[in-house]
């Protein structure tokens, strides 16, 4: 059940409505959002005609509410002058881990030359083994921010734990939530309170409903800048790191108004297959790509097998150019594909 509020409804009016439900002993059943108040579908609403700021009451049949297309048709938002969402598909590229000043600055310079506007890189890395390289920490955040500032890029980096939120907020433009934290619901709820885009990766064993419900945790806090990212799901086959679920891209777009990106690097785990899967994701309608690149993948301290070198990344950009006839959509100078 969705109680839609009129534009410019003020906090005192919302407080009045909340107080009304509180007198009925039903406040705990409600989720509050800047544009709406949600209640379970089987909840019997009292007469609300007295509240003139309520514009509409409707039922949403899906388990996920705020990420549903029944709530909104499309979502797009601006990140440092670049649109993310229904109109353009953007490319985010960079290393798995920020390793050295030389490494991250050389990548940033290369991306700038290719008119890419987003750089990714991990400073705090969630590694399966405690003996693997786990990032440079705050030093890494400072390095990627300095490189991004010099080459006019926006920073995408992962938040591993809420204790690191203030640092990640200071140095990033988009906060990435990795597969392991997709079901960290307390973290997601806290991210709903901030005004910074969240790139929410699909859990490695999550189905679509679980993924969209995770997005609802962020949306229900009032943060509407959510990007979904398909990064492959775990399977029984040990010859493939993950199963890259290309079919989920048009499925998500039929169910949700949120932009959906694809991460073919984690989705395949092998640089030999990244370009093919990246282009397949674009044809399937992805709003963007998240791709790992490295000046010399053979020397990468983490995930070198799935990182593209600069030449391979250039081939990907050329491949996207060549797709234009097939997908019949123009491309601009920043390799942002119009998908209207």
pLDDT of the residue at 44: 73
Mean pLDDT score, 173-185: 97
CA atoms of 228 and 230, how far apart (whole Å): 7
> Tens digit of pLDDT for each residue in 55-89?
888 788 899 999 999 888 999 999 999 999 865 67
Give DSSP secondary structure letters for 246-313. TTHHHHHHHHBSS-EEE-HHHHHS-HHHHHHHHHHHHHHT-SEEEEEB-S-GGG-SS-GGG-B-HHHH
CA atoms of 198 and 77, how far apart (whole Å): 12
Tokens coding 213: 């419900």
The confidence band for 43, taking pLDDT boundaries of 50, 70 and 90, is low
CB atoms within 10 A of CB 75: 20
pLDDT of the residue at 339: 38
Of 281, 257, 318, 266, nearest in space to 89 by CA = 281
Which helix or strand (DSSP H or E) is residue 222 part of?
Answer: none
The confidence band for 325, taking pLDDT boundaries of 50, 70 and 90, is low
Checking if the pLDDT of 237 tops 90, the result is no
- How is the chain split among helix, strand and coil, in percent rounded to 5? 35, 20, 45
Checking if the pLDDT of 332 tops 60, the result is no
Tokens coding 41: 């579908």
Max Cα-Cα span within the chain = 67
- Phi first, then psi, for residue 79 (nearest 5°) are -125, 105
243 - beta bridge partners? 233
Q: Is residue 133 a contact partner of residue 302, using CB atoms and an 8 Å limit?
A: yes
Average of per-residue pLDDT values in the chain? 88
């Amino acid at each position: 059940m969705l109680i839609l509020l009129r534009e410019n409804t003020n906090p005192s009016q919302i407080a009045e409505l909340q107080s009304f439900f509180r007198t009925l002993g039903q406040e705990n059943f409600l989720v509050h959002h800047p544009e709406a108040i949600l209640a379970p579908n089987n909840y019997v609403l009292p007469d609300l005609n007295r509240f003139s700021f309520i514009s509409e009451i409707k039922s949403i049949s899906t388990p996920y509410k705020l990420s549903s297309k029944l709530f909104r048709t499309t979502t797009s938002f601006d990140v440092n002058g670049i649109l993310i969402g229904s109109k353009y598909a953007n490319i985010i590229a960079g290393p798995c881990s920020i390793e050295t000043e030389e490494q991250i600055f050389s990548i940033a310079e290369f991306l700038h030359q290719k008119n890419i506007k987003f750089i990714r890189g991990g400073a705090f890395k969630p590694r399966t083994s405690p003996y693997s390289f786990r990032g440079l920490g705050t030093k890494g955040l400072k390095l990627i921010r300095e490189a991004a500032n010099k080459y006019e890029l926006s920073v995408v980096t992962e938040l591993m734990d809420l204790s690191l939120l203030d640092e990640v907020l200071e140095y990033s433009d988009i906060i990435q939530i990795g597969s392991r934290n997709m079901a960290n619901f307390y973290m997601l709820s806290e991210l709903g309170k901030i005004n910074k885009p969240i790139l929410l990766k699909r859990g490695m064993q999550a189905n679509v409903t679980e993924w969209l419900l995770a997005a609802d945790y962020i949306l229900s806090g009032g943060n509407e800048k959510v990007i979904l990212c398909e990064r492959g799901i775990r399977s029984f086959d040990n010859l493939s790191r993950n199963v890259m679920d290309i079919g989920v891209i048009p499925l998500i777009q039929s169910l949700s108004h949120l932009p959906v990106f694809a991460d073919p690097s984690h989705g395949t785990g092998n640089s030999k297959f990244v370009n093919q899967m990246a282009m397949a994701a674009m044809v399937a309608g992805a709003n963007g790509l998240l791709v790992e690149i490295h000046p010399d993948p053979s020397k990468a301290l983490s995930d070198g097998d799935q990182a593209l070198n600069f030449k391979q990344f250039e081939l990907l950009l050329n491949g996207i150019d060549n797709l234009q006839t097939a997908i019949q959509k123009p491309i601009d100078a920043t390799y942002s594909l119009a998908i209207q």
